[in-house]
Amino acid sequence: MPKTTKDKELDKMYKDLLESRDSIHARKDEGNRLLKFFVGLLMLGGGLFMVFQNIVVESTWGYGGYFFRIGGFGLPNGLIMLPIVAGIAMLFLMDRKIFGWVVLSIGIVIVLLSVMLTTHLRWRSTNAYVFIVMFGLVAAGGGMVLRELFRKD
């Protein structure tokens, strides 16, 4: 039995209805994915915040008056500021400023390295419940974020 124009119109309307339904579900799924991503990001951030709140940072840079010792020779803390002072002076005194910038940059790197090399991290004591919540939030939030980032849909 051949299809009439009414049957063709009904088929077209049915296909349009199915397409609109699929697009509504696709948009709803996209919104859910975005919500899951941001909830995971919030959980990850909260967990990392709690972890970092329980880490104590201590530095021994100012103690003892020396940055480091080699045998009986110790480099005083104040002496590592010398390249910074020399670099600033070179910036104002020399025509070719590149040398001043190089010396200043080296001085800044030396100071940053000296502070970082004398820094110690210590874990503050906490109870098991807080420990599990902290690392549970980090793991669950990180998993949610990674799942939504690398989904293959």
Do 100 and 131 belong to one domain? no
Do 81 and 25 belong to one domain? no
Mean pLDDT over 136-142 rounds to 96
Tens-digit pLDDT profile for residues 69-119: 555 566 676 777 888 999 999 999 988 889 999 999 999 998 888 778 778
Do 80 and 43 belong to one domain? no
The answer to whether residue 65 scores a pLDDT higher than 80 is no
Do 2 and 43 belong to one domain? yes
Do 128 and 118 belong to one domain? no
- Cα 75 from Cα 111, distance rounded (Å): 12
| Residues β-bridged to residue 75 | 68
- Cα 132 from Cα 40, distance rounded (Å): 17
33 CB contacts (<8 Å, ≥6 apart)? 148, 151
Do 48 and 66 belong to one domain? no
Do 100 and 134 belong to one domain? no
Do 12 and 49 belong to one domain? yes
Look at the chain and report how many structural domains it folds into.
2
Structure tokens at 89: 């002076």
Please give the model's pTM, rounded to 2 decimal places.
Answer: 0.57
Domain of residue 74, residue span: 57-122
